[in-house]
Amino acid sequence: MLARGQIARAAAVARRSYATKVASFTGQKNDKGHYTVPIIEGDGIGPEISEAVKEIYRAAKVPIDWLPVDVTPRLINGKTSIPSETIEAINKHKIALKGPLATPVGKGHVSLNLTLRRTFNLFANVRPCKSIKGYKTPYDNVDTVLIRENTEGEYSGIEHTVVPGVVQSIKLITRGASERVCRYAFEHARNTGKSKVLVVHKATVMKLGDGLFLEAALAVAKDYPDISVHTELIDNTCLKMVTDPSPYQEYVMVMPNLYGDIMSDLCSGLIGGLGLTPSGNMGVETSIFEAVHGSAPDIAGKGVANPTALLLSSVMMLQHMGLSSHADKIENAVLTTLASGPENITRDLRGSASTKHFTEQVISRL
Ligand SMILES: NC(=O)c1ccc[n+]([C@@H]2O[C@H](COP(=O)([O-])OP(=O)(O)OC[C@H]3O[C@@H](n4cnc5c(N)ncnc54)[C@H](O)[C@@H]3O)[C@@H](O)[C@H]2O)c1
């Protein structure tokens, strides 16, 4: 039996070693000197935008071999699961790129997005939003980084009918998951040269749940004396963000799951919409990069989807893998294409280009 002091010290050591290990890429190159990256093409527009990414990567000679993997849900012991071959491949290569997956509303299998986050313990969802030069929106100085707790909160899937007409849906908050995501936010601030972390919450109402998240954040902040910690109520952040986003450039924002989901769409709206916003789901061992948007069933198969969000997610992935020069090359080509006029950008951005034309334009600027 360990004495109480020993347990506390072991926990402290575990926490420190965890911080250095957090989400660093440890994948290995294959025989050809390339990285193998599992790709989940996804539903709706997923295959169209994935194809655009693959074409651009081929043209840019990125040293990546794509490995298509299947996530068709299986019910194992009453739980939604993904095929074991897919789990093995993603665990082996420590990385994946993912297109959007449709989720049935109100019934059917558990969200596959949630299943993936749980299966690979993807505890932090990083969502940057930066104004696109040349693409005019009400503000041209948006530059936010939002980190969303990705495993619990309102998305824990704990719901039951108490009596017909009365449902309880439980928001689960744990100290462990809150500390883990907040620590990641402080590490991210340090690594990206930001000096402030903003903890967004509603602990005035959810005194215990959000109170615990806030408490965990303030405890973690003590380990980062070089970074100042700030707190704000979620409703206030929404109001201030749409009134003037510029002060938020200085912060890395961190918040519980649902707030992060909603707030990041709000930030997307400020830069031109979901077609432009990338994200990374970070885990201790494995990370999965994906666009913030869904499968866009309304435009699927029409050849008009905007592949930018998936492309910029793949750029985040390349940076994570240490392939920075390839990341810069692709990012520059995408951004200069977006700034090159309505004939070269897709309909969601008030342009007229097809997915194919946009892809060709990016390739011509590599
Ligand atoms: N991470 C994910 O896989 C993810 C995220 C959100 C929603 N979903 C799922 O996607 C499905 C559809 O959801 P939704 O309609 O609420 O949201 P959505 O993001 O699919 O679409 C919202 C609107 O944005 C447009 N849009 C989205 N991405 C676009 C792109 N790349 N180019 C051009 N236009 C784009 C769509 O045409 C639609 O008008 C649902 O089943 C939902 O559960 C998946």
Last residue within a domain, chosen from 221, 255, 271: 271
293 C-alpha vs ligand 1 centroid, how far in Å? 5
What would the pLDDT profile of 165-211 be if each residue is shown by its tens digit?
Answer: 999 999 999 999 999 999 999 999 999 999 999 999 999 999 999 99
What is the C-alpha separation between 290 and 312, in angstroms, rounded? 9
In a domain, 2, yes or no: no
Q: Are residues 186 and 257 in the same domain?
A: yes
Digit-coded pLDDT (tens) for 226-236: 999 999 999 99
For 120, half-sphere exposure in the C-beta direction (CA atoms, 13 angstrom radius) is 31
Residues 233, 290: one domain?
Answer: no
Rounded CA gap, 199 and 213, in Å?
Answer: 9
- Which protein residue has the closest C-alpha to ligand 1 atom 15? 296
Place 6 in a pLDDT band, splitting at 50, 70 and 90. Answer: very low
What confidence score (pLDDT) does residue 9 get?
Answer: 38
Nearest residue (CA) to ligand 1, atom 18: 294
Q: What is the mean pLDDT of the chain?
A: 90
Reported confidence tier of residue 313, pLDDT bands at 50, 70, 90 = very high
Q: Which of 271, 294, 323 is the last residue of a domain?
A: 271
**Cβ–Cβ under 8 Å, residues 19 and 272:** no
Q: Which of 82, 122, 293, 311 to mutate to test the pocket of ligand 1 (most atoms within 8 A of CB)?
A: 293
CA of 200 to the centre of ligand 1 (A): 25
The domain boundary, picked from 227, 245, 271, lies at 271
- Say yes or no to pLDDT of 118 above 60: yes
For residue 198, the domain's CATH number is 3.40.718.10
Number of domains in the chain: 2
Q: Please tell me the distance between residue 348's alpha carbon and the centre of ligand 1 in angstroms.
A: 12
Instruction: Check pLDDT > 90 for residue 115.
Output: no
> 292 and 248 in one domain?
no
Q: Coil, strand, or helix at residue 157?
A: strand
> Do 258 and 142 reside in the same domain of the chain?
yes
Section 235-243 average pLDDT: 98
The lowest-confidence range among 25-34, 76-85, 129-138 is 76-85
Structure tokens at 281: 């789901």
Nearest CA to ligand 1 atom 5: 294
- 242-294 pLDDT tens trace: 999 999 999 999 999 999 999 999 999 999 988 899 999 999 899 999 998 99
Q: Which atom of ligand 1 is nearest to the CA of 308?
A: 31
CB atoms near residue 31 (< 10 Å)? 5
Range of the domain at 280: 17-131+273-366
pLDDT 10s digits, 66-107: 999 998 877 777 777 888 999 999 999 999 999 999 876 666
Contact 148, 282 (CB under 8 A): no
With respect to residue 7, please indicate whether it lies within any of the assigned structural domains.
no
Question: Considering the domain boundaries, does residue 1 fall inside one?
Answer: no
**Binding pocket residue ranges, ligand 1, CB within 6 Å:** 45, 49, 100-103, 113, 274-275, 290, 293-299, 305-306, 309, 346, 348
Q: In the chain, pLDDT over 90 holds for what percent of residues?
A: 80
Question: Residue of the nearest CA to atom 1 in ligand 1?
Answer: 100
Query: Are both 221 and 305 inside the same structural domain?
Result: no
Picking from 27, 31, 17, the residue whose alpha carbon sits closest to that of residue 287 is: 27
With a CB cutoff of 8 Å and minimum separation 6, the contacts of 137 are 131, 270, 271, 272
